[in-house]
Structure 1
């Protein structure tokens, strides 16, 4: 089930999404919470007892202080990376998710390593001693790869995503950064190289990919740039061979037509 604007406003008793500060959606069988990309001022959020698997769309809720996510379907602790920039987050309840079950001790240390500002985790107060151990022994999470689907960019359909060059470029850039083990760029620090498009103009997906690559290059060191150069040269050779084969096929086709006539 998708959490909609109408449902949010009804439960929060608010007139618009920006005025929503507290929201309780306990046990609503939710799977899609992309609406939180449009609710920047939420402070206390209850999403327990649903079927949520990704925290991507909560990453823009900069005023969030309390987040309740018990009994959901969060499979991987790498989802914590989406909460890392939420500096106001003090309370998190993540227990009873698949990501918590394998190693309870490591789970808690890893959560605190990635979210050191927490005061309470799973209804237990975080002590200074525990936090010190977590910072030393916890595992640092990187942004998880996007799920394979046509709607993997911020909850938008493919068509909607292409109409937003900022969204597309940011997702492409962070996907590449994740593959290189680099931290993702938050939206508020992400510049767009794309110039504004005239109304009705056809979206150019390739230009957005180029924007993402150009942005990424600024953060690479010499060795990483050499890897990119090598991969680019290999790709160019393959493309050149492909074009040559296509030209040969066209020539053969022309010869065949001439012979027939």
Structure 2
């Protein structure tokens, strides 16, 4: 699996497994299946309530800890107590350190994300996290953060799929040295049925999910598809060996429709508590 190098020199596997909406009681089994399929990058969050299952899978595997990349995220309702929240996440995961810790949403109405970022900087300085970043930050949120921060986020994890690419935001992130990580990379399945994607899949003898994931990888995105089915996990992982032509990549890029699936970070204010 290819890796990208973050702006602080830490490497991250470009393709990982997301565990959003995976039930806590199923998480250990599903993450163990992912490890068996070859995944070494697992993306969770305090708001998902399944960090303990991720940690149990890591504890049960024989894979060296240094070969596993773990991301978790700060809940919106805990931006005012990020240190405590991080320690709770770290303990739930059963880890001495976390590879990547993200502010999950900016929640601009709270006015706390800069304060939270300063706490993440302290965690980074104390080597409790290997890299820090943000999620769902729009351009103005990044501007506000960078005006009062010494640390450029390593990652901005955003909704990104062929029908909703946030191209201007992604370009800005890259110009600042921030890697772009795509969640809902398949448009929650909605981007798999278009004629362009199915035609490319037929031409390569690949699944439509493999085609879209290959587009992400070729675009330089970190990508974290979710699957609870071991066979589908393996299919998704195999996307790393699929090479699309420039014309095929362009055909998928042309699917942009501006159709956001998730919440708008400009106004989202849920606590995740």
**Do the structures match in fold with TM over 0.5?**
no
Looking at secondary structure, tell me which structure has more strand per residue. Answer: 2
Higher RCO, 1 vs 2 (CA within 8 Å, ≥6 residues apart)? 2
Normalising to structure 2: TM-score of the pair? 0.28
